[in-house]
Amino acid sequence: MIYSDLISNIEQTHSVFFKHTTNAINQSLTIRNWIIGFYIVEYEQKGKDRAEYGKKLLQSLANNLNQRGLSQRNLNLFRKFYLVYPEIMQLLTAQSDLKQSSILQLATAKLKDAVRTKGIQQNKKNPLPIKKFDKIENSYLISLIQKISFTHFVELIAIDDSVKRKFYELLVLNSSISVKELKRQINTLAFERVGLSNNTEKAIEKLKSKFTPTSPQDIIKSHYFLEFLDFNAPELVEETELEQALINHLQGFILELGDGFCFEARQKRILIGEKYYFIDLVFYHRVLKCHILIELKVNDFEYTNASQLNTYLNFYKKEIMLKTDNPPVGILLVTDKDKALVEYATAGMDKNLFVSKYMLQLPQKKQLENFLNDELKMIKYE
């Protein structure tokens, strides 16, 4: 064996076991979430003291459980997961001659025990199985659990139309697309566009040709995955190495400017509706008495970038800002390989005195532009 063979063997071994471990953890996460949803729905329908909790059930559960990953929002997702995919019950409680993973076997034993010993009976909406699934149905369900991450399922359960949902299930199974790509296809109406095509097969092939397959590294960036493992991760969103490098240095650059900047959070997670969003950097300014939200995008300026930042500003105005605070300020930094464009989102800055202070206290656009250009040059030549 030569040295290059040694390197190759170690890399291949690491890759195989890393992928296997990631898939195993993800299956456990998916099944755990479904079973939790199952218990919640069963309690809602048959709990002897359910009226006592009523609409506050999920909040009460979250408070009493006090576990990372078992927030009210997540418990609601698990409940919906069970309601959208009740057929998983039939897979886990039916006798199947298909070879299942040890995780599925464990879940099967858990569900059978619940049905047998805890008095759980059939309910009208989601009856327990009365017949054995055929091999094709069982095989498809097993594929869903083993090959689709729970973060993918979060996007799928938001689709009400079952046919449309099936289309995107198959898209994930056949193409191994990332969650980001799945979101993009749903938002750009891939299902509807394929349906309008004269050549469905060709349209699907054209879609798939543009996909970048997901990887185990992509899966572990999911905050559901990290919460399941009880990790305190500084970044809970997908970021490119270039973005991370720039944000690392930007944080220090802003603090070095002084002028009242107080660091508050990085990748600040906020909940809007039923979705989490992440703000790259959040500072509080002692002089301006307001929050400074900074978003960095490694691409050309797009109107959606400004719209996204404006959404964050509106959230801070309504949910975070105190009566003694001034309206939050947003700074959007957009860059490509050759130039840097800096944009300020100043919605709500309607007080002349405050605007004057704002112009004096915040870093000048030229400063930020020079910073980005210098950083890009250093990264380029490293």
Q: How far apart are CA 266 and CA 280, in angstroms?
A: 6
How confident is the model at residue 273, as a pLDDT? 82
How confident is the model at residue 167, as a pLDDT? 92
Cβ neighbors of 375 (< 8 A, separation 6 or more) are 245, 246, 249, 250
233 φ, ψ (degrees, to nearest 5): -90, 135
Spell out the domain ranges in the chain: 1-147, 150-233, 241-381
- What CATH architecture does domain 241-381 belong to? 3-Layer(aba) Sandwich (3.40)
How confident is the model at residue 130, as a pLDDT? 37
Say whether 49 sits in a helix, a strand or coil.
coil
- The order of strands in the sheet holding 290-297 is 261-272, 275-285, 290-297, 329-335, 340-345
Tokens (6 digits) for 89: 């019950």
118 φ, ψ (degrees, to nearest 5): -105, 10
Whether the Cβ atoms of residue 96 and residue 138 lie closer than 8 Å to each other: yes
Average pLDDT per block of 10 residues along the chain, 382 residues long: 86 87 88 92 87 88 90 92 90 59 66 57 44 66 89 94 93 87 87 78 69 69 77 55 76 81 88 85 89 83 80 92 90 73 61 57 80 73 48
The whole-model pTM stands at: 0.67
**Residue-by-residue DSSP string for 255-274:** HHH-TTEEEEEEEEEEEETT
Q: How far apart are CA 149 and CA 166, in angstroms?
A: 15
